[in-house]
Structure 1
C-alpha cells in the first residue's frame, strides 16, 4: 500500500543536527512514530517526500528551520510564578506541559529553570533553529479507520470499540 492521504504511516527514524552530527532523536529508543498522512500531523517536507512510497522505503531528508521547526523565538521564553503550577504535584526542570493560549490554541512548553518561585518556560520546539537530517524508514502503511479520522489521531491495536487513548474522545 502506498503512502497517501488518510493512511496511517508507521516510521522508524533518526534525527540529527546536520551541522554538528548530534543525534537528537531515535525512534529505536522510544518506539515507532505513527501519523495520519495528509492531516498536517508531521513535518510537511517529510510528508511530501513520503507521498506515494511504500513499506520498506528508506531515505534521508535534509530540513532547514524554514521547512522544519522554525526559528528560535525569544518571545516564547517566559517567566511564570510557581503558583501558576498549583495543579501539579511536582514541577522540575525539563518538565513538559501544554498551555492553553488566548487564541484557543495549545502550545507545548518545557520548564528550563526554577529559581525559588520564578519558573522559566520555553515554548520553542527543541529542534527550532536547527538544520536537521532525518533518516527515515517506512515500516508500515495502512488505511486509517473511520474512528481515527474522526478523532484525528492514530489508535492502536488491542483497543475495543471505545477510544481508550487518553484523548477525551467519547
Structure 2
C-alpha cells in the first residue's frame, strides 16, 4: 500500500470549519502537492498526512498562527461615511487598496454606525482556531520537475488506487 512520504505527489480534498463547526472553505476538486518539496501547503496539513494512504481522512485543529494568522489591528480603519463612495456604503462591501509598490489588498466593510464606516483588512478567521478535514485522494511518485515546483504538472489526479 502506497503511503504519503517525501517526494510523493499527494492529492487531497479538504474542508475548513470555524469554531462553531460551520464550513467556511471547501475544496472538493483535489488539490495536489509534493510532500516535503516546499509546495506552499500549510506545514500542519503536510505533517498530518505523512504516512497516510489513499482513503484516509485526517482532522487537524489549526491555531491562529498556523492558519489565518493573528488579528492585526493596524488593518482596521474607521472613515466618515460621507467620505466613502456610495457603492461601498454597505456591510460586506469589498474595497481594494493599492500601496506604493502596486500591491493590492482587500478590505471589507464590517460595520456602519453613527455616520462612520469600519473597514477591516484581516481575514475573517484571523485570531481564530479552525478545524481542517483532509481526505487523501491519490498518491503517486512525483517527477523531478514536480519536485522542483512542489506542485503537480497535470491539472487532475491520476487514476484512483
TM-score by length of 2: 0.64
**Is 1:150 the counterpart of 2:139 in the alignment?**
no
Matches within 5 A, 1:89-168: 94=94, 109-112=105-108, 122=121, 124-156=122-154
| Cross-structure match for 1:9 | 10
How many residues end up aligned between the 2 structures? 130
Match of 1:86 in 2: none
Aligned-residue Cα RMSD (Å) equals 3.2
Moved over 6 A (4+): 99-102
Give, in whole Å, the separation in 1 of the partners of 2:5 and 2:95.
35
Unaligned runs of at least 5 residues, structure 1: 79-92, 114-119, 159-170
For the pair shown, which has the larger CA radius of gyration, 1 or 2? 2
Q: Deviations over 1:137-157 (max 9, x none)?
A: 100111221122233432215
Structure 2 regions of 5+ residues with no counterpart?
78-92, 110-118, 157-161
**Structure 2 CA distance, aligned partners of 1:150 and 1:101?**
33
Native 8 Å contact 2:56 2:136 kept in 1: yes
